Amino acid sequence: MQKISPCLWFDDQAEEAARFYVSIFKNSKIGKILHYGEGAPKPKGSVLLVHFKLAGQEYIALNGGPEFKFNEAISLKVNCKSQKEVDRMWKKLSAGGQEVQCGWLKDKYGVSWQIVPTALGKMLGGRDAERTDRVMKALMQMKKLDVKELKKAFGEGKKIKKSKKSKPVEVAVEA
């Protein structure tokens, strides 16, 4: 059992959203579905919780009602190995939602996602501030990230110097 599992609060679309997410990511499945009982704030028999896995990581979707809405204060980051994977994830997750900036989008349920090529971390993690600045400027002009354009801004073909600083810990969903 995973020590920490994010719980996503929906009005009444928890099962629909979980099934949508599971259809997109490999190594994903719906687990236990719990229902409201008699005297609950929602009709008896309606879905309360959906346990599901995305890319092997556990999540919970809750039908809690309209009191709370998703916002950009938290997002799910998807590390993509190629432009093809960025394109696929972007197309599926942004369908019916909203394309934002810098690789961020909101899906049709309002959940924020970051669709990020793994090459970006290498470009931003180097010690050459000028190259990093060029990549950041290019990044700020994009909605869906374009690996070819980011590499062009970085100076394709040049070696990437690794930073001696410690790397931050990230929690990410991998497709």
Written as tens digits, the pLDDT of the chain (175 aa) is 889 999 999 999 999 999 999 999 999 999 999 999 999 999 999 999 999 999 999 999 999 999 999 999 999 999 999 999 999 999 999 999 999 999 999 999 999 999 999 999 989 988 889 999 999 999 999 999 999 999 999 996 555 455 455 444 343 444 4
Residues 6 or more apart whose CB falls under 8 angstroms from that of 47 comprise 12, 14, 15, 33, 34, 35, 36, 63
Closest CA to 8 of 55, 59, 54: 59
pTM: 0.85
Cα–Cα distance, 3 to 58 (Å, whole number) = 9
pLDDT score at 175? 45
The token pair at 134 is 């060029």
> Which residue segments constitute the domains of the chain, with CATH numbers given?
7-63 (3.30.720.100), 75-174 (3.10.180.10)
> What order do you get walking across the sheet with 57-63 strand by strand?
7-10, 57-63, 47-54, 29-35
